[in-house]
Structure 1
Amino acid sequence: MASALTDKLSRLVKEMRGQARITESNVQDMLREVRMALLEADVALPVVRDFIARVKEKALGQEVLGSLKPGQALVGIVNAELAATMGEGIADINLNAQPPAIILMAGLQGAGKTTTTAKLAKHLIEKRKKKVLTVSGDVYRPAAIEQLKTVTAQAGAEWFPSTPDQKPHDIAVAALDYAKKHYFDVLLVDTAGRLAIDELLMAEIKDLHATLNPVETLFVVDAMQGQDAINTAKAFKEALPLTGIVLTKLDGDSRGGAALSVRQITGAPIKFAGVSEKLDGLEVFDASRHAQRVLGMGDIVALVEQVTKGVDMEAAQKMAEKLKSGDGFDLNDFLAQLQQMKQMGGLSNLMDKLPSEMMAKAGQVDMDKAEREIKRKEGIICSMTLKERKHPALIKATRKKRIADGAGVQVQEVNRLLKEFEQMQTMMKKMKGGGLMKMMKRMGGMKAMKGMMGGGGMPKLPF
């Protein structure tokens, strides 16, 4: 995420922290580097100029010059101004309207509008406990209607049918009428996109806006587009009263310029960020936390949230009770631990939220390879009988050969997994009676994790 910008700013942050005294000369040198880093990251020139001017004004003030640690004070200013550029804190979605609250999704084709509509539906159902209806007004791309139907079902919302021979205006009116009659809290309207901005697109979406009078008009933009994202945002802002922005594909954005520019160019706050292709890969955008990520400070809050969401606390409690009662840790428990790791959103997603210094300490671990290793180990255990999982001591040569064949691996890999299991089993015996929290804390540093990661190891997570 914004890796190029993060790398450059992280180096500057380290240099700034080491400064014993801040002068106008070294502030100018640092700001020149910051300016180049922002421009290379595709941040719009007017945004860069304004950002540099604000940082310079504060950096040469008493706030930094009078500080005992001026380098750290300067880092604080850069962090605060990055957050201010993207909008202060969190801009919550507005649902204060007579139900149904209508949310209009706008943007170009390929930005991820349809998937984002389903992600937002899932978010509103799970986090806001709302009854959600979706409808597609994209009559030019028949696949879009079917796509929305599919992802809406996956999100747990209801889909209102539409066909390519209908007019978007008529579809919207019918969907709104249905939403009112069936007491929906929210109506999400997915609109047509184009490969480029044209008059027909803008006229159509203006008409939809006038017809529906939505409480939120969200502009969905691909963060990887860089300068194109900024130009598109500007055009949509001129056509519609945008209330918020959703940045998609933020996980694949190597330069990070869109997040810094789009807020200031449009004046509309960034409300959500798409951080993975999964339907739960939509985060409420927090400008302060995103600024910390860009500076290479990581996002520990998001990391803890992701891990907490992925961990089945009831299952963890049961395992703690099982260990406490004296029952052994078996291969079913080992399999459950592997599956917990998958539920946390993948190792690479977790690592992305760690501070850059911690990432460096972790070494150049191949996360894709590590995740493949976890899947392979899962396959090996699933090739065992229930009796073998419960009593691993039964697994001798002939059984190992059968398990290896069933999982499509070599016998050596079965041996390796059993050795890792024995290491974890030994650790669990030592923890007998230690309680749930003790077990959870030790999970981050256990030696057996090295095997799961294919020998690369994993940094001890800060929770």
Structure 2
Amino acid sequence: MLDNLTQRLAKVVKTMRGEARLTEANTAEMLREVRLALLEADVALPAVREFIAKVKEKALGEEVIGSLSPGQALVGVVQRELAALMGADLGPDATQLSFAQQPPAIILMAGLQGVGKTTTVGKLAKYLKEQKKKKVLTVSADVYRPAAIAQLESVTKQVGADFFPSTSTDKPVDIALNALDWAKKHYHDVLIIDTAGRLGIDEAMMQEIAAVHGAVKPIETLFVVDAMLGQDAINTAKAFNDALPLTGIVLTKLDGDSRGGAALSVRHVTGKPIKFAGVSEKLDGLEAFDPTRMASRVLGMGDIMALVEEARKGVDEKAATDMANKIKAGGRFDMNDFKAQLTQMKKMGGMSGLLDKLPAQFQQAAAGANMDQAEKQVKRMCGIIDSMTPLERAKPELIKANRKRRIAAGAGVQVQEVNRMLNQYDQMQTMMKKLKGGGLMKMMRGMKGMMPGMR
């Protein structure tokens, strides 16, 4: 996510922190590097100019000049202004969805075709159902794109929300009103309306979505934009912002673009807060957007709060406590425990998802690692453990040549892979013993040895 920008800015931050004294020369050099990094990341020139002007003004102010560590103070200024560029200046409640209307609260989704709008409806339904405990109904008012209605029905069923059927012969306004009537009668908390997109902006589309908006009067009108669109995203955002009273932005495919600066530009152009970011293709790959935390992440400081939240969602706390107590009491870390650890890692968004939220120094430790390959390897390792007998899982030292061949055949892998997995189990077992004394760095060093490609 925003990889190139993060790498460039992390270097600048490191240099700034080391400055014992700020001069006009080193401040100008730092601002030049930040400006180039933002422009290379596709951030619109007006947004960059405004950002640099604000940082420059505060960099030469008393807060920084009078600080005992001006380099550190200047990093703080950059972090705060970057957060403001992303929407922190709109206030802490701006990124929250509003439900302040008689149920159902109506959310209208707008955007071009191909930006991931329909999948985002499914992700949002899942988020509202699981995180906010809402009863959600979805409906498709897209009567043009083949299979759009069927696609929304499919993703809605996958996330366990309710779906209101429609057909391509219905009128979008009628679809929305009928769905609203159904939602009221069946006591739904939220109605999410998926609207039609086009390959480009056209007058007919804008009139249609404006008509749907006028008919149902949604409390939230969210503009869904592809982070990979680059500067085109800005023109699209302007057109939608002129046609509709937008309340927020949802960024999709943020994981697929190493630049992603268009995301910052859209916020700047519309003046509307970014409310959600799509960070993976999976239906749980939607994150509530926090500009302050995202600014820290972009500057290479990581997002430890997001990591903790992922852990809280993905980790079986009782199982984790039981295993910790077992290790503390001198109990054995066996193959069942090893598989449980691998499963928890997958639930927390996989290795790439975890590393993305860690500070730059931890990410550098994983530089050059093939994360996709690492995650495939984790799946194969789980398959190998599943091919073992209960006795072999409890006592891995019993696994000799004949057993290895049988396990490899059962898992559909080569014997070498079984050997490699047993070596990684040994490393994890050693790491667990070290972790009795605690320490994140010990854990990261242990993971570095375990993960394929990380040496």
TM-score computed with the length of structure 2 as normaliser? 0.93
Residue 397 of structure 1 is matched in structure 2 by 401
- CA 1:443 to 1:386, structure 2 compared with 1: closer, same or farther past 3 Å? farther
- CA 1:99 to 1:295, structure 2 compared with 1: closer, same or farther past 3 Å? same
Residue 70 of structure 1 is matched in structure 2 by 70
Q: Aligned partners of 1:448, 1:82: CA distance in 2, in Å?
A: 34
Q: Aligned partners of 1:268, 1:339: CA distance in 2, in Å?
A: 38
Deviations 1:116-144 (A, max 9, x none): 11111111111111100000001101311
The answer to whether structure 1 residue 453 and structure 2 residue 444 are counterparts is no
The answer to whether structure 1 residue 309 and structure 2 residue 313 are counterparts is yes
How many angstroms does 1:439 deviate by? 8.7
Residue 181 of structure 2 is matched in structure 1 by 177
Residue 287 of structure 2 is matched in structure 1 by 283
Residue 434 of structure 1 is matched in structure 2 by none
**2:150 equivalent among 142, 146, 154:** 146
Q: Aligned partners of 1:233, 1:13: CA distance in 2, in Å?
A: 31
**1:339 equivalent among 315, 340, 343:** 343
The answer to whether structure 1 residue 10 and structure 2 residue 10 are counterparts is yes
The answer to whether structure 1 residue 80 and structure 2 residue 80 are counterparts is yes
Q: Aligned partners of 2:78, 2:330: CA distance in 1, in Å?
A: 54
Q: Aligned partners of 2:6, 2:448: CA distance in 1, in Å?
A: 28
Residue 37 of structure 1 is matched in structure 2 by 37
The answer to whether structure 1 residue 227 and structure 2 residue 231 are counterparts is yes
Q: Aligned partners of 1:139, 1:455: CA distance in 2, in Å?
A: 47
What one-letter code is carried by the residue in structure 1 that aligns with 2:208?
A: E
For the 8 Å contact 2:224–2:251, the answer to whether it is kept is: yes
Q: Aligned partners of 1:84, 1:342: CA distance in 2, in Å?
A: 33
| Equivalent residue runs for 1:93-242 within 5 Å | 93-242=97-246
For the 8 Å contact 2:104–2:188, the answer to whether it is kept is: yes
Q: Aligned partners of 1:173, 1:208: CA distance in 2, in Å?
A: 9
The answer to whether structure 1 residue 250 and structure 2 residue 268 are counterparts is no
How many angstroms does 1:332 deviate by? 2.2
Deviations 1:227-248 (A, max 9, x none): 1111111100000000011111
- CA 1:136 to 1:51, structure 2 compared with 1: closer, same or farther past 3 Å? same
Residue 461 of structure 1 is matched in structure 2 by none
How many angstroms does 1:188 deviate by? 0.3
For the 8 Å contact 1:331–1:390, the answer to whether it is kept is: yes
What secondary structure, in the 3-state scheme, does the structure 2 residue paired with 1:220 have?
Answer: strand
- CA 1:329 to 1:4, structure 2 compared with 1: closer, same or farther past 3 Å? closer
Q: Aligned partners of 2:276, 2:64: CA distance in 1, in Å?
A: 33
Deviations 1:312-337 (A, max 9, x none): 11222333455577764432222222
**1:296 equivalent among 295, 300, 304:** 300
Q: Aligned partners of 1:442, 1:25: CA distance in 2, in Å?
A: 38
**Structure 1 stretches lacking a partner, 5+ long:** 432-436, 458-463
Deviations 1:16-40 (A, max 9, x none): 2222322333323322222222122
For the 8 Å contact 1:82–1:291, the answer to whether it is kept is: yes
What one-letter code is carried by the residue in structure 1 that aligns with 2:347?
A: Q
- CA 1:50 to 1:175, structure 2 compared with 1: closer, same or farther past 3 Å? same
What one-letter code is carried by the residue in structure 1 that aligns with 2:48?
A: V
| Equivalent residue runs for 1:360-375 within 5 Å | 360-375=364-379
What one-letter code is carried by the residue in structure 2 that aligns with 1:265?
A: V
Deviations 1:77-107 (A, max 9, x none): 1111111111114521101110000000000
What secondary structure, in the 3-state scheme, does the structure 2 residue paired with 1:445 have?
Answer: helix
TM-score computed with the length of structure 1 as normaliser? 0.91
CA RMSD in angstroms, aligned pairs only: 2.3
Moved more, 263-272 or 12-21: 12-21
Q: Aligned partners of 1:267, 1:447: CA distance in 2, in Å?
A: 43
Q: Aligned partners of 2:446, 2:8: CA distance in 1, in Å?
A: 35
- CA 1:259 to 1:415, structure 2 compared with 1: closer, same or farther past 3 Å? same
- CA 1:173 to 1:43, structure 2 compared with 1: closer, same or farther past 3 Å? same
Q: Aligned partners of 1:203, 1:224: CA distance in 2, in Å?
A: 26
How many angstroms does 1:169 deviate by? 0.9
